[in-house]
Amino acid sequence: MEKKYLNEEEYIKNNKKVNSIGKILLITGIILIIIAVLLMVISFLGLKNTVNVYNFNSTDDSFNLVTNSMFGSFGLFAIAVFLSFIGFTSLMFGGVLTLTSHRREIAAYTTQQAMPIVKETTEELTPTAAKAAGTVAKEVTKGVKEGLKEEK
């Protein structure tokens, strides 16, 4: 059984899948980057407050080591970096897939932009090319006739 590669229904079905996956990856990437930025801000605010971490808190006679600890802020920052990497990667692949799914429309748009110029160029060059071809044909015919005369 021979499979046709140029099937319009198959193209439309696959193009919708590629476009959907691209959009999902774009949205996922944007959400992950927003979360990463928020975690970075929170971790930087936590790092800013680490100066007072080991100061004795006189109100409840305890150390505040959990909420303002250096490890907690650094951990949030590490998670934010990881999420931003995943987010940017997701954005990149989503953008490529979305661009790929619109390649036909982009090619049609580009062709529509170039077509008037190609048409005008062809109209301008056709008489010149025909004249040059006619001259070449005359010269070839003349050469053949001269060759035949020399043979006799």
Q: Are 76 and 67 in contact (CB under 8 A)?
A: no
Q: What's the average pLDDT block by block, 10 residues per block, for the chain (152 residues)?
A: 74 92 96 94 72 49 48 80 95 95 90 86 79 79 78 70
What pLDDT, on the 0 to 100 scale, is given for residue 66?
45
- What pLDDT is attached to residue 64? 46
pTM greater than the 0.85 cutoff: no
Q: What is the pLDDT of residue 75?
A: 82
What pLDDT score was predicted for residue 53?
A: 45
What is the full DSSP assignment across 19-46? HHHHHHHHHHHHHHHHHHHHHHHHHHHH
Q: What is the reported pLDDT for 63?
A: 45
Quick one: residue 63, left, alpha or beta (phi over 0 = left, psi -120 to 50 = alpha)? beta
pLDDT at residue 43, rounded to an integer: 83
CA dist., res. 111 & res. 103, Å (int): 12
